[in-house]
Chains A and B, each alone.
Chain A
Amino acid sequence: MPDGMLVDYDGLIPNNVGLNQDARLRKALETWHPGYIDWWKEMGPEGFQESLVYLRTAVSVDPKGWARFGYVKMPEYRWGILLAPAVEGRRIGFGQHKGEPAWQEVPGEYRAMLRRLIVIQGDTEPASVEQQRHLGKTAPSLYDMRNLFQVNVEEGRHLWAMVYLLQKYFGKDGREEAEELLRRRSGSRDAPRMLGAFNEATPDWLSFFMFTFFTDRDGKMQLEALAQSGFDPLSRTCRFMLTEEAHHMFVGETGVQRIVERTAQAMNAAGIEDPTDVERVRALGVIDLPLVQKKINLHFSLTLDLFGNEVSTNAANAYNAGLKGRYREDKIDDDHRLLDSTYPVLRLKEGRIVEEQVPALSALNMRLRDDYVADCRAGVERWNRVLEKANIPFRLTLPHVAFNRRIGEFAGAHVTPEGEVVDAASWAARCGSWLPSAEDGMFLEGLMRPEYAPGRYAGWIAPPKVGIDGKPGEFEYVKLHMA
């Protein structure tokens, strides 16, 4: 086993970072730990803290077998600190320090910038746990409930990962930031989470699947960009987080896919040919496709805001400093400095959306966003294949990137999902057909009835093709303590 793959699983905090040899760090983490457990109990999944959940726990960082499965009460989950194995002789891959050995310590001049990147990433991790804390009560199956909790505990571990970096490398400031990560609350007026999409409610399971598909995918893109970092501990941390994040994408993509599949089945069985006959479709107890489309419109546009301004000085600085790269920077064939190249950016000029070439260094947010959109589009196409196979004349699409934006070039502009710029009045008049209405929300709320019997699924979602960890259909993924 290569160096660094061995996880110390005996102490309070499983780790492969030699915590036993680092008294200062261990003290900091052990001081932080009770606050984290309090936060989990207060803000984690509500009503299921005593249930036994069939969860995977990272016990190694060997890609071939890094996790083991077993029943655990969530507050007793072994949140550990795991870094991907060190790469011998790793060098900085981009920016002005390209070719220099990767940093094992924080360079003084980049301390503030690095800390900010880590805090912003870290703040999203607990936020989604908070957003999703009520969903257990309406889980469509024990399988889905278990997947929800798996996502939740791993977001919790990702918080640990970021807190580790803050406490190990950023001294007193880092410890304070780590405390602040536990004090902010999603949706709180007085202490909100840092980014907008992480303060939105996740009231129902369609929202949850959309969130994991769209918003966690932003997380994936950010982690991919940070995994390229010249600051090696950050790179190694993010690389390991990505192995876990893949499951979150899976939950979102298959969740929506199973909803679409169930709707198609029900429509065909009832002989409904018009997918826009919302009333009849809803009467079947399944989610109509136009509503799925509206949720796509909402979650996609909210998530695009997370990429920040299209033209961004911060992104340029972080790249040039070698702290945050592009998506799969190491696979791109160019000079990895970007001093002379340009990149196309969509801009709103005199009421029209036009493409402009801007210096590539300042367009890195746009570039990451473009990669993200392509990644989303592939998933949406897989959903459409379900519809195609079922002969349903309806296709899901991603709205235009300028639709419903609050940050960046198109903030405040009125653009339709097709990308047409319209005036405020006509946008307002039509937005009910583009975004979920209160009535849509009530319909979904009405559908959300829990299904707690092993092997059974709510009527609006199809069962998965295969179980988790190869388990059979009627496997009891969650042993409810109240049962």
Chain B
Amino acid sequence: MDQAADAPHITFETEPARYRHWRLSVSGEVATLTLDVDPQGGLFLGYELKLNSYDLGVDIELADALQRLRFEHPTVRVAVLRSGKEGVFCAGANIRMLGRASHGHKVNFCKFTNETRCAIEDASENSGIKFLAAVNGTAAGGGYELAVAADRILLIDDRRSAVSLPETALLAVLPGTGGLTRVTDKRKVRRDLADLFCSTEEGVRGRRAVEWRLVDEAVPPSRWEERIAAAAAELAATSDRPRQAEGVALPPLAKSRGPDAIVYRHVRVALDRPAGRATITVLGPEADAPATPEAARTAGFWPLAMARELDDALLDLRFNEPRLGVLVLRSEGDAARVLAHDALLAAHPGDWFLREVRHLLKRVFKRLDLTSRSLFAVIEPGSCFAGSLAELVFAADRQYAFIGRPAGDNRPPAGLVLSALNFGAYPMANGLSRLAARFWGEPWRLDALRARIGESLPAEAAEEAGLVTAAYDEADWDEELRLVLEERASFSPDALTGMEANLRFVGPETMESRIFGRLSAWQNWIFQRPNAVGEKGALKLYGTGVQPEFDRERV
């Protein structure tokens, strides 16, 4: 599955009518997400998705379904995750797919799957969509990790069905989707039992799974449906979603993809392959902000439409353009209109739709934080990095601002404007706002900036306030920028990935940051090692019956 140059692009857009692997049904306050993987429906050739195992294509559908539950079904208070196959809940990521996948695809696949699992937890914590995993069969590896993303886990106690994380014993890799971290941090399984669990290929069943805290309840088959209904109702009672509301349908994105550009309505991506660089330009709102939350409630509401497009663009670049190592972040438009949208987003904390839009923006910005490319924000005349959009600037590894205006250019000069949303609405994986992370060692600067919300900060003032790396005037701009970008493109991509991921996430850890950090550090290392992926490694030999040969040396 090493992607050939002419391989078709992976696309991330889908809709329930096109799902091949999931079924989404909604009945009153309860949604049911049924995993019933089509074995022939793999994203690539050369493997079958047996036993409800998944590849990226299956998870793309899950991510889409979550998004639709948020926006299209605002009265759904609980989602039940279950399997449409008898005796098996989910066997996790497809091993043959992993065995064939390029290292880059594996890493990006795991990252996306993690983002989707975190999106489940985000929906529970912040959107009032509670999740119940009804594990009606064996849940192995990623299958158990999916269940652990839910608020509650019911395991059918038919004396057969087990939950397991067999990766170490079976495949010489780790549960890559937060399994280890969630077992200890979320389920709070005692460390020695977790060790035993994670090295027992066949997993743990019934009562013992409850005793070890791996699941919440073991339910006999005769009471299964009744318990699911009751547990769903209990969870639904804890939701704060509206009893009555009309959803907002999410139409397909207007996207065109050419050899050197990806164009949406509010986002444009220029692909500069010789330079190894993509320039993402976000266009500000075309009109004033709607006057009321009710008037905002359409898929065309600028922050929603822009966020969906930017999200799709980031995924497209991650999976389809691995050689474009530098992302230049630009914006064009009217900062005042961006701020007006921010004001609406901030003014109605109780409105379900605006809440969803804020959290979507949060997740897209997180996706940017977690994108292993060098991020450079370029703030030029005519840009509109204000409020929410300024988060792109603070997500970047470096920021460059243009001082003044080039001769003959009558667009407004480059600058930044902060809104209230920059101070906590969009936390990073470590729980900090990007500004708080930026000023981890200079907290007084953060306090000072709070007083300057709404104030236009031209390039030099922004530099003074510590909001940009450097500000250059017309005389230096082109040359400085060229040098910076060329130098960046010359470094080792691996070293950059590690360096950037280290520097981006300062300060405290959260379960989320630990999941991603450990994925990058441990799993991606193991994924490179001969014990897993060498010709005699476990991942390569899985399914052949041939025993892997390990290099016994501990590193």
Residue B545 contacts which of A191, A192, A319 (CB distance < 8 angstroms)? A319
Cα-based distance from A362 to B543 in the complex (angstroms): 7
Interface string of B139-176 (1 = CB under 8 A from A): 00000000000000000011110000000010000000
A112-B544 contact given A190-B158, A190-B221, A192-B158, CB 8 Å threshold = no
Contact with A along B522-548 (1 / 0, CB 8 A): 000000000000000000001111110
B311 at the interface (CB under 8 A from A): no
- A479 to nearest B CB, angstroms? 38
Name A148-180 residues within 8 Å CB distance of B: 180
Considering the complex, which residues of chain B in the window 293-325 have a beta carbon less than 8 Å from any beta carbon of chain A?
none
B443 interface contact, C-beta 8 A:
no
**Bound Cα distance A315, B545 (Å):** 8
What are the residues of chain A within 8 A of B546 when measuring CB–CB? 96, 316, 320, 339, 361
Question: Which residues from chain A contact B157 at a C-beta distance below 8 Å?
Answer: 190
List A residues 319-333 near B (Cβ within 8 Å): 319-321
A189 at the B interface (CB under 8 A): yes
CA distance A318 to B544 in the complex (A): 11
Docked pose: A318 CA to B202 CA in angstroms: 15
Assess whether B221 is in contact with A189, with CB atoms less than 8 Å apart: yes
Knowing A112-B200, A183-B159, say if A190 contacts B547 (CB, 8 Å).
no
Establish whether residues A359 and B544, one from each chain, have CB atoms under 8 Å apart when the complex forms: yes
Closest to B202 in A: A112
Partner of A190, one of B169, B222, B542, B543: B222
Instruction: State the interface size on chain B (CB cutoff 8 A).
Output: 18
A184 to B159, CA, bound (A): 8
Whether B332 is near chain A, meaning CB under 8 Å from some CB there, is no
| Contact mask for chain A residues 307-320; partner B; CB cutoff 8 A; 1 contact, 0 none | 00100010111111
Chain B residues near A318: list those with CB within 8 A. Answer: 545
- Does A90 reach chain B (CB closer than 8 Å)? no
Which residue on chain B has the smallest CB distance to residue A119? B202
Given the complex, which residues of A lie within 8 Å of B544, measured CB to CB? Answer: 316, 359, 361-362
Q: Which of B215-239 contact A (CB under 8 A)?
A: 220-222
Q: Is A33 an interface residue (CB 8 A)?
A: no
* Cβ–Cβ contact A316 & B545, under 8 A: yes
Which bracket fits the contact residues of A?
20 to 34
Chain B residues with Cβ under 8 A from A317's Cβ?
545
In Å, the complex CA distance between A112 and B170 comes to 11
Residues of A within 8 A of B220 (CB): 189-191
Given contacts A189-B222, A190-B222, contact A313 B159 (CB under 8 A): no
Tell me if A7 counts as interface (CB < 8 A to partner B): no
In Å, the complex CA distance between A184 and B157 comes to: 11
B-facing mask of A237-255, CB < 8 A → 1, else 0? Answer: 0000000000000000000
Pair B543/A313 contact, Cβ less than 8 Å: yes
A385 within 8 A of B: no
User: Which of A192, A313, A359: most chain B Cβ within 10 A?
Assistant: A313
Q: Which residue of B lies closest to A319 (CB)?
A: B545
Q: Which residue of the partner chain A has the closest CB to B200?
A: A112
B201 at the A/B interface (Cβ < 8 Å)? yes
Given A190-B222, A191-B159, check contact A112 B545 (CB 8 Å).
no
Instruction: Check if A116 is an interface residue, CB within 8 A of chain B.
Output: yes
With contacts A112-B201, A116-B202 taken as known, whether A192 is within 8 angstroms of B159 at the C-beta atoms is yes
User: What's the count of A-B pairs with C-beta under 8 Å?
Assistant: 51
Q: Given A96-B547, A320-B547, verify A194-B542 contact (CB < 8 Å).
A: no
Cα–Cα distance between A168 and B158 once the two chains are bound (Å): 26
Determine whether the beta carbon of A361 is less than 8 Å from that of B158.
Answer: no
Would you call A313 and B542 a contact (CB within 8 A)?
Answer: yes
User: Which of A184, A189, A338 has the most chain B CB atoms inside 10 A of its CB?
Assistant: A189
Chain A nearest Cβ from B191, distance in angstroms:
21
CB within 8 Å of A: which B482-539 residues: none
Docked pose: A155 CA to B160 CA in angstroms: 22
Closest to B158 in A: A192
Please state if A361 and B545 are interface contacts (CB–CB under 8 Å): yes
A116 and B200 CA atoms in complex are apart in Å by 12
B contact residues around A362 at 8 Å (CB): 543-545
Report Cα–Cα, A339/B544, bound state, in Å.
9
- Measured CB to CB, the nearest residue on chain A to B543 is A313
**Chain B residue nearest to A113 in the complex (CB):** B201
Kindly list chain A residues whose C-beta atoms are within 8 Å of the C-beta of B201. 112
What B residues does A316 contact at CB under 8 A? Answer: 543-546
Neighbouring A residues of B160 by C-beta, 8 Å: 192, 194
Chain B 26-62 residues near chain A, CB threshold 8 A: 50
A189 to B222, CA, bound (A): 6
Indicate if the CB atoms of A313 and B545 lie closer than 8 Å. yes
Residue pair A321, B547 in contact (C-beta under 8 Å): yes
Distance (whole angstroms) from the CB of B95 to the closest CB of chain A:
8
Beta-carbon nearest neighbor of B160 in chain A: A194
Q: B210 CB to closest chain A CB, in angstroms?
A: 16
- Residues of chain B within 8 A (CB-CB) of A192 are 158-160
Contact residues, A279-328 vs B (CB, 8 A) = 309, 313, 315-321
Q: Which residue of A lies closest to B199 (CB)?
A: A112
**Given the complex of chains A and B, what is the CA–CA distance between A338 and B543 in angstroms?**
14
| Cα(A96)–Cα(B543), bound, Å | 15
Question: Which residues of B are found within 8 Å of A96, using beta-carbon distances?
Answer: 546-547
CB closest residue in chain B, given A337: B546
B160 to chain A, nearest CB (A): 6
Interface residues of A in 66-102 (CB under 8 A from B): 96
Q: How far is the CA of A237 from the CA of B157 in the complex (A)?
A: 31
Residues of chain B with a CB closer than 8 A to A313's CB: 542-543, 545
Smallest CB-CB separation from B48: which chain A residue?
Answer: A311
| A320 pairs with B158, CB closer than 8 A | no
In the complex, which residues 91-134 of chain A have their Cβ closer than 8 Å to any Cβ of chain B? Answer: 96, 112, 116
The listed residue with most A CB atoms (<10 A of its CB), out of B169, B200, B202, is: B202
- Chain A stretch 183-230: residues in CB contact (< 8 A) with chain B: 183-184, 189-192, 194
Apart from A190-B221, A316-B544, what 18 extra A-B contacts exist at CB < 8 Å? Answer: A112-B169, A112-B201, A184-B159, A190-B158, A190-B220, A192-B158, A194-B159, A313-B543, A313-B545, A315-B545, A316-B545, A318-B545, A320-B545, A320-B547, A338-B545, A339-B546, A361-B544, A361-B546
**8 A-B residue pairs with CB within 8 Å:** A180-B159, A184-B159, A192-B159, A194-B160, A317-B545, A318-B545, A361-B544, A361-B546
The 4 A-B residue pairs with the shortest CB-CB distance, nearest first, are: A316-B545, A190-B220, A320-B545, A361-B545
